[in-house]
Structure 1
Amino acid sequence: MSARTAQERPQRKGSIFALNESNPLVPYLFLLPHAIFFFIFTVYPVGYGIWISTHRWDPLAPTQPYVGLEFYRNLFDPSTPQSQFFWRTLLNTLFFTAVSVPLLIAVALGLALLLHRPIVGRAFFRAVFFMPGILSVAVMGILWKWMFENQSGLVNIIASEYLGLPRLPYLTTEWLAWVPIVVGTVWWTVGFNMTLYLAALGNIPQALFEAAELDGAGSWARFRHITLPLLAPTTLFVAVTTVLASLQLFGQSLIITGGGPTRTTQSVIMYITEEAFSNNQFSSATAMSFVFGLVMLVFTVLQFRIMARDMQGGMR
């Protein structure tokens, strides 16, 4: 090795491309690709959305006049149609969330407990309950709309022909129209939550159940004091993701009921889409999106705090 090569080596170690702990730029170089995409697909769209919501934005107009917080004030002015329909559809979405989320958690946990046992055909039934989740929302919506048709739906045919019950106009009756939406959503998405619970159940040491059984604990006591506390982290994850998914209700209501009757099943995202692409009020729809995003953020934070506190209390 020549003396010149030995002198150049320390300089190469100090270059910005040298991956060693002494180079302060190394962590930022690893973060740079993610930072670029984060800025392009998150920071810039959010910033541009804020700009649109404070201007009377029209892609075909030569100018975009600044209006400040006018579109946000409209959402809190009861005399405006934006306020009336936005809060009404938000209540519809919250109602759907309040009904569907407990079902998606309870049914998923129940199926996981049943299919965790060594029963015949366990793998087959796991696949049966998981497979609806691979369907698109369009296929799911068409299927459940057909099943709950007012006259020719499968549910009404079975109820009238075999059970002697009257046929119910599910799709055209207020609040009753939620039945196919909620039932179809549970059938469609419960398999994913079930899979998460199955994975969590498989990680619980069987020695805990054996020790509790030797101490005289029954099935309910073992479930309450062992299974539920150890499933708490999974339940927190399932609850948060299910709430966020339910708040984004769109395709089910659009395809099954079209948001009717009389906007009873119209979700807030459906109304935001209507405001933007049917009424051509893009700035108003953008303001609604930010307010709705803030509502989702508040619900998520509250849910994390409440369930994290319950988890800490249950493990003491």
Structure 2
Amino acid sequence: MTVTQAPPTTTRTPGPRRRLNLEPYFYLLPHALLFFVFTVYPLIYGLYISLHRWDPLNPQMPFVGAEFYRNLFTPDTPQFQFFWKTLWNTTFFTIVSVPLLVAAALGLALLLQRPIFGRAFFRAVFFMPGILTVSVMGILWRWMFDNQNGLVNAAAGALSQMQPIPWLSTEGLAWVPIVVGTIWWTLGFNMTLYLAALSNVPESLYEAASLDGATRGQQFRYITLPMLAPVTLFVVVTTALASFQLFGQSQVITNGGPNRSTQSVIQYITEEAFTNTQYSSAAALGFAFGLMMLILTAMQFRIMARDVKEEG
């Protein structure tokens, strides 16, 4: 009878515990502090203000719950009347300006991608307005569309003896200097993005399509547009968000007039807070508008990302 000996059990000596490396967190600490102080804390405190009747001169701040949010859906309140009106104004500006900005930027990029004389100069000319502040841009276009002495009316009168058009004091027409000025001001950034994307499209694709008999229009439709789809997604989303943040252009050019026809929703929120001193109401309006923008951006990104994926 053979007896098998069990293998000797070896006890593993526990090694030194791995110490947590805190060095990366110290590098992140300054940004985290700034993010908390200037983003997280204002959001939390703003939500607190929107749920209370807040007055900086009164220590008593009674809790009112969703009262200021309900005002947005109560037809008899000024918040209902002006918030939805200015939201439509902002939406109208976005619907008009975004397609023009995207199409004009793509068209200019296609023109300036070609080896033409002075290409670098023209690229700089179209990009330079973007370095101006919104106040400078607004004053410039307000002067150009002035009702009496504006450059546009002066040129029209010199060419066709037309009477001065009251651009800034006529509902509907007041949007023209805002939209045109915004396109002139922000066109260069989108154009630069498209130029960078066009330089990454392989020339071999166009050569192969040309050998197969594809026209320039077919090459643009089946090669250029699909290859630019990710950049177009980025341009459309960022341009739409920037357009919904309309404030400085309408503030400087038309001051929201005439009859609030060009007043943006951010202008109204600012007026509610600093002119009407309704800080809690303005905070509620701001949170409601921010939530709308989050939902809209998520929907827009989801739809366009699906299209980009299908094209890819």
Task: Identify whether the pair has TM-score above 0.5, normalized to the shorter chain.
Answer: yes
- Assess, with a 3 A threshold, how the Cα gap between structure 1 residues 14 and 305 changes in structure 2: closer, same or farther: closer
Summarize the alignment of residues 4-23 of structure 1 with structure 2, pairs less than 5 Å apart.
14-17=18-21
Alignment-mate amino acid for residue 231 of structure 1: L
d(CA) in 2 for partners of 1:229 and 1:14?
Answer: 50
d(CA) in 2 for partners of 1:197 and 1:303?
Answer: 20
Q: CA deviation at 1:312?
A: 2.1
Question: Which residue in 2 is equivalent to 1:6?
Answer: none
d(CA) in 1 for partners of 2:310 and 2:220?
Answer: 17
**Contact 1:55–1:65, Cα closer than 8 Å, also in 2:** yes
d(CA) in 2 for partners of 1:90 and 1:268?
Answer: 5
1:71-101 CA-partner distances (Å, limit 9, x unpaired)? 0001110100111001100000000000000
Q: CA deviation at 1:167?
A: 2.2
Q: CA deviation at 1:15?
A: 3.4
Alignment-mate amino acid for residue 14 of structure 1: R
d(CA) in 1 for partners of 2:202 and 2:290?
Answer: 40
d(CA) in 2 for partners of 1:179 and 1:201?
Answer: 31
With 59-68 and 39-48 compared, the bigger mean Cα shift is at 39-48
1:214-239 CA-partner distances (Å, limit 9, x unpaired)? 11111000000000001000000000
Paired residues in the alignment total 298
Question: Which residue in 2 is equivalent to 1:37?
Answer: 34
d(CA) in 1 for partners of 2:233 and 2:84?
Answer: 28
Question: Which residue in 2 is equivalent to 1:300?
Answer: 297
Q: CA deviation at 1:299?
A: 1.3
Question: Which residue in 2 is equivalent to 1:149?
Answer: 146
Question: Which residue in 2 is equivalent to 1:285?
Answer: 282
1:288-311 CA-partner distances (Å, limit 9, x unpaired)? 000100111111111111111211
**Contact 1:16–1:26, Cα closer than 8 Å, also in 2:** no
d(CA) in 1 for partners of 2:241 and 2:77?
Answer: 28
Quick check: 1:83 aligned with 2:76? no
TM-score where L is the length of structure 2: 0.92
Alignment-mate amino acid for residue 199 of structure 1: A
Alignment-mate amino acid for residue 40 of structure 2: V
In the alignment, which of 239, 243, 253 is matched to residue 240 of structure 2?
A: 243
Q: CA deviation at 1:261?
A: 0.2
Quick check: 1:65 aligned with 2:62? yes
Summarize the alignment of residues 115-154 of structure 1 with structure 2, pairs less than 5 Å apart.
115-154=112-151
d(CA) in 1 for partners of 2:26 and 2:98?
Answer: 42
Question: Which residue in 2 is equivalent to 1:20?
Answer: none
In the alignment, which of 193, 196, 199 is matched to residue 193 of structure 2?
A: 196
Aligned CA RMSD, in angstroms, stands at 1.6
Listed as ranges, the gaps of 5+ residues in structure 1 are 1-9, 18-24
Task: Give the secondary structure class of the aligned counterpart of 2:160.
Answer: coil
Quick check: 1:105 aligned with 2:102? yes
Q: CA deviation at 1:34?
A: 4.1
d(CA) in 2 for partners of 1:214 and 1:129?
Answer: 35
d(CA) in 1 for partners of 2:20 and 2:295?
Answer: 43
Quick check: 1:255 aligned with 2:263? no
Q: CA deviation at 1:62?
A: 1.6
Q: CA deviation at 1:63?
A: 1.3
Q: CA deviation at 1:38?
A: 2.9
Quick check: 1:163 aligned with 2:167? no
Q: CA deviation at 1:30?
A: 6.0
Question: Which residue in 2 is equivalent to 1:182?
Answer: 179
Question: Which residue in 2 is equivalent to 1:206?
Answer: 203
Q: CA deviation at 1:35?
A: 3.6
Q: CA deviation at 1:32?
A: 4.7
